[in-house]
């Protein structure tokens, strides 16, 4: 069973993501800030991470850096789910190593779940790429 770590501070977004992922047969872990995310990854390595950027404490950029600098973790696909829609935030996330970037309000949740499936079934490489999905 593939394990997905949701790093998000908003309860209602966690619930929506968790319900969809569990319905599709994934195991789900939850972290509500950057430090907790790193602790959870250390405890049990996830197969994919859904990551918010703006969170109390350490933010999503910190988590990406921690993951991508570790030889054991760097292959874990990181999909950023944020409502920061500026080009600068997107560029920064992709530069530090995020694999994908979704502006949450602009995409149906099914699109995110489909992307998770694509990564985990190997239909999508985990190499960093420019992401067109933030466009309206």
Q: Give contact residues for other proteins (rule: CB under 8 A).
A: 10, 12-13, 15-17, 19-20, 23, 54, 82-87, 89, 103-106, 108-110, 136
Residue 129 CB, shortest distance to other proteins, in Å, is 17
Burial level of 26, CB count in 10 A (0-12/13-18/19+)?
buried
**Phi and psi, residue 83, nearest 5°:** -100, 10
**Nearest to other proteins of 41, 101 (CB atom):** 101
Residue 46 CB, shortest distance to other proteins, in Å, is 20
**Nearest to other proteins of 83, 126 (CB atom):** 83
**Nearest to other proteins of 59, 126 (CB atom):** 59
Burial level of 109, CB count in 10 A (0-12/13-18/19+)?
middle
Residue 74 CB, shortest distance to other proteins, in Å, is 28
Residue 80: which residues within 8 A CB-CB, separation 6 or more? Answer: 51, 52, 53, 60, 64, 93, 98, 100, 101, 102
Residue 108 CB, shortest distance to other proteins, in Å, is 6
**Nearest to other proteins of 32, 104 (CB atom):** 104
């Amino acid at each position: 069973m593939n394990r997905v770590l949701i790093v998000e501070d908003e309860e209602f977004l966690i619930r929506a993501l968790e319900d969809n992922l569990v319905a599709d047969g994934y195991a789900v872990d939850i972290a509500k800030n950057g430090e907790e995310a790193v602790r959870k990854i250390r405890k049990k390595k996830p197969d994919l991470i859904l990551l918010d950027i703006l969170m109390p404490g350490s933010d999503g950029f910190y988590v990406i850096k921690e993951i991508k600098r570790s030889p054991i973790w760097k292959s874990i696909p990181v999909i950023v789910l944020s409502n920061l829609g500026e080009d600068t935030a997107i560029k920064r996330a992709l530069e530090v190593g995020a694999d994908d970037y979704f502006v949450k309000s602009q995409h149906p949740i099914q699109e995110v779940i489909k992307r998770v499936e694509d990564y985990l079934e190997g239909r999508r490489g985990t190499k960093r790429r420019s992401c067109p999905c933030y466009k309206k």
